[in-house]
Structure 1
């Protein structure tokens, strides 16, 4: 199953499209992206980012259909492969500190800590194109600071039972789930007192706490 999952204005999971194919390859990803682009008018991916596990078929299809999109690697996928060789809490904490670094200097400092413990671990991560999974190198103006595609994992977990069923039954269960979800979210949103989503307000309040200690 190919899926495109985004976030809504309240920072919640928003399934955009899903489709069933016989195999995950470039032609099928191209077909999937063409349908999304035609339906939503994505303008070649301008002002958008895609976070994935860097499947070659998706990368090549995106270059043709969404040539202007910023394609990021899922840091969780990078770490899953990294910990097979470099396991332990210390490596885990250092990796995520590096991935979530907001400026290049901070990234270099965190990577240097890894280098001091294991030069091989440092070389391993530097060989994984850090500019595609470290926050410090992401393009500005995209309003998306995510370094992993947990949104897609959430959707996959929700439809896990449905995927065990025959094709038409599976698709019908997913359709019914999504209709119910959108209905419930709409009902919740109608009860909000503010014109700004609670998720956005919560984020701004958190930012405000950090800003108090900033020094220019």
Structure 2
């Protein structure tokens, strides 16, 4: 259930105390990956690409640094191919502390297309109780799958978000395997974050459109047609 009061509390520091986000980020790893112009909002890709307000109320205060296949960095709207991002990122780093727990959310809000987002949002990966930046030691709720935009649906905004947890969480979300598309659509990010009292910390996103890998992914998920 959505809790407006929770989100109001999260937004107040950004609205009334401009330096509070910077202090919050610095308290979780020294401000790693937070360029000066991003902090000061002279350049804000989350607004430019309309992920705020499409799926978020406010941009993440820090940057999630990401690289796929040791070769393809993600940088706020980088265009990559489904072939390039078919496996988990080989590098993920955000302003983290070893004594804190985090949740990773990877989703596609543009399903089946950005012009017709009737299945928003589609889960691609969901991991909770991550100690520090060690994603492999977290609790996997939704197993990773790569990007699979339908042919002709244009560029999709594939979005990664990191949330700070208030404590270790016993999640009651369905466990989803990497061979199933069931339960992946209609993921409500706002409700999920409010349900577990998560605080948005970092994020990044890339864009991708259909290529020859997509039918392979559909076969893996048991999807017979796009």
TM-score, shorter chain, exceeding 0.5 = no
Name the one with the larger helix percent: 1
- If asked which structure has higher relative contact order (CA below 8 Å, sep 6+), I would say 2
TM-score in terms of structure 1 length: 0.24
Rg comparison, structure with higher value:
1
TM-score in terms of structure 2 length: 0.23
Name the one with the larger strand percent: 2
